[in-house]
Amino acid sequence: MTTIKQVASYAGVSVATVSRVINETGYVHEDTRRKVEEAVKQLNYKPNEVARSLYKKKSRLIGLLLPDITNPYFPLLARGVEDRMQENDFRIIFGNSDEDRQKELDYMDTFIQNNVVGVISSTNNPDTDCYANLKIPVVFLDRTSSDSLSVYADGTHGGRLAAQEMIARGSRQITVLQGPAHIRPAQDRFRGAVEELQRLNITYHVVATTSFSFKEAESWAKELFSKHPDTDGVIASNDIVATAVMHEAHRLGKKIPEDVQIIGFDDIPLSSLLFPPLSTIRQPAYEMGWEAAGLLIQLIEQSQAAKSSMRQLHSSIQLPVKFIERETTRKVDFHG
């Protein structure tokens, strides 16, 4: 690691001057600038981010906290965040929380200790102290918070959409899988679906679930078809659960979509690869990550500039969901 001092002596100037040309701050004679630039190139000098961070009390690092990167929904979110951050020369410290309060706190602590300038968190506890007391901007991703900024998809509308499409395609005995109670977006979807079903005056049943794990979903799928054998339409809480339902339907010899239609939620990469390919309500995960990063960057730059004036210029971003018609739902001509 070559330091600014070495560059300075190589160029025959003081460190102050080197700093000036590096940061393009203050006047510096054209000739000396060239000398310095030459020295920088020769010595392959790269400023030490740590020293910078220490002095300025802010780094080019942001913290990204996700429940579990192993869950197929999150890689796309992460990639969206990463791409946008990369473009703006921010780096990411990444952690999995497993929706565990303690892990979450630990990560937040180490984020702070490393002088991150912002945090993107996909947490179920956005209103907890560790966020409220934070002195740096936070954006909640895929989770809503009452007073903080967040980026999320329109789950309620998604639920409604799922119900509408199901009905438009002729199912009348709907069973809705209610996602985990502690996951806000899952409840939004559920509520949306149920409201629409009620509005449409359709009978429906509900099967409660507590996670998005495939293993567990398999048993709920069994429960679904044994408790409600006449079900001809399933609105699943996400694509993983929908997949488990498909497997169980196969096992029972039910034809998809003739005997039972299935609609998932998320549109994870898996969905289009299933057989038959899964119809689902698409959340634009990559875009969500991208938008969250963009929002956070704005907040960071704003807090650099006007420390007190004009706060809260920005607001949460709700992204639209979309019905992706594939082959677990029947075709309709009139639909549009």
Partner DNA sequence: TTGTACGCGTTATCAC
Partner DNA sequence: GTGATAACGCGTACAA
Residues contributing to the site for DNA (CB under 7 A): 1, 3-5, 12-17, 19-20, 22-23, 25-29, 31-33, 45, 47-48, 51-52, 54-57
Q: Tell me which of 24, 27, 273, 308 binds a second copy, using CB under 8 A.
A: 273
Instruction: Work out the number of other CB atoms within 10 angstroms of the CB of residue 35.
Output: 18
Applying CB under 8 A, does 115 fall inside the site for a second copy? yes
Return d(Cα 284, Cα 4) in angstroms, integer.
44
Contacts for 21 with CB less than 8 Å, ≥ 6 apart = 28, 32, 33, 36, 37, 40
Q: How many residues bind a second copy (CB under 8 A)?
A: 49
Write out the binding residues for a second copy, residues 21-60 only, by CB under 8 A: 46-51, 53-54, 57, 59
Identify whether the C-beta of residue 228 lies closer than 8 Å to the C-beta of residue 174.
no
Structure tokens belonging to residue 2:
């070559």
Window contacting a second copy (CB under 8 A); options: 13-21, 64-72, 179-187, 259-267: 64-72
CB-wise, 113 or 309, nearer to DNA?
113
Q: Give CA 21 to chain center in angstroms.
A: 39
> Contacts from 134-138 at CB under 8 Å and sequence distance 24+?
134/108, 136/112, 136/300, 136/303, 137/296, 137/299, 137/300, 137/303, 138/296
When asked if residue 134 is in the footprint of a second copy (CB under 8 A), the reply is no
Q: Which is nearer to DNA, 14 or 42 (CB)?
A: 14
Q: Does 260 bind a second copy (CB under 8 A)?
A: no
Name, in order, each residue with C-beta under 8 angstroms of 100's C-beta and a sequence gap of 6 or more.
none
Q: Please report, as ranges, the residues that interact with a second copy according to CB under 8 A.
A: 1, 46-51, 53-54, 57, 59, 61, 64, 68-70, 72, 74-76, 78-79, 82-83, 86, 91-96, 103, 109-110, 112-115, 135, 214, 243, 246-247, 250, 269-270, 273-275
